[in-house]
Amino acid sequence: MKATAPRGRRPRRKEAAAPSPAAIESVPLAVGDKRHPVLGLGLWGLGRWSAEDEARTRATIGRAIERGVRWFDTAEVYGAGRSERLLGDVLRRATEGAQALVVTKLSWEHLRANQVRASLVRSLDRLGRASVDLYLVHAPDRRVPLAETMGALEQLQQEGRIGAIGVSNFSVEELEEAGRHLRSTQLVVNQVRYNLFDREDAEAVLPYCREHGIVVEAYTPLARGLLNGRYLDGRRPPAEVRQYAQDLFGESRLPEIVRQARGLQQLAAEAGVPLPSLAFHWVRARGAAPVFGASRPEQVDANLDAWAQRPDEATIARADALVRGERA
């Protein structure tokens, strides 16, 4: 006889198991006692639009915290400050928020000494913090001497408002100049664009950064979604994506990149790993720390699940050779 639940009671549903935290190692920073995770969540595309988007952003950050992500990258220009505000609010409500490495960036439009201080104060107010763990110059501006910017940042660090100073999109020459103008500290990070298709900026600075103890953070490790399998079915990238990645999505280059991405997709399938796994661990094998974007909780899960599956060295070498047009 088929068993039935007692009248008036409903059978209990099994609760879905909470997703397990990702295993993300960390490396020391050259300044301070904070460690730098080697995988993080970037908030470039978050905090921009409607109330629905904002709710999704909160859920995305919350899922990342739940899954063990502890490095969060934002900037004052992301969503005109909304990204910082949302991140700060979610971190304050999370018991694990105190463990996070919070990174924000000073706009290239605010590199004068008085602007540096004002920008940091506004960022801290939005983040709801007395200090930020890591403060980056988003990009250099040749019209503003690095001596002025670095002097202002060092003063703020001495006041306890900045844990460590870093930069983004700096060449070796700019790293050297910035370093010369820091008297009691040093640069700890250079964040650059780096993925299987975009190598020039990072490969030009990696040896210098390695020699000087500077962590290289790699943004766009999935090449605006191409290395997540996006746009490989013939769909065109939206206008906003094309605007910020013209080198990838230009009419002259895109067909060849799509062909290579499909080859990488096949290689990943043969190795039994997701395509993003290949992309993440190619970056990591070269000594950089990838920071990925996600706009929904399920994208966080997919990227962390891909991170957990590491291809062997031979597969990573074949991926590199494929994009270089060489035989592995």
- Spatial distance between the Cα atoms of 319 and 228, rounded to a whole number of angstroms: 14
As a residue count, the chain comes to: 328
Q: How many angstroms separate the most distant Cα atoms in the chain? A: 84
Q: Among 78, 194, 219, 231, which one carries the catalytic annotation?
A: 78
Active-site residue flag, 78: yes
Six token digits for residue 319: 């991926």
Six token digits for residue 76: 């004052």
Point out which residues pair with 26 in neighbouring strands: 37
Tokens 């290579």 belong to which residue? 260
Distance in angstroms between the alpha carbons of the first and the last residue of the chain: 63
Nearest to 167, CA basis, from 179, 180, 184 = 179
- Please report, as a single letter, which amino acid is at residue 124: L
Active site residue ranges? 78
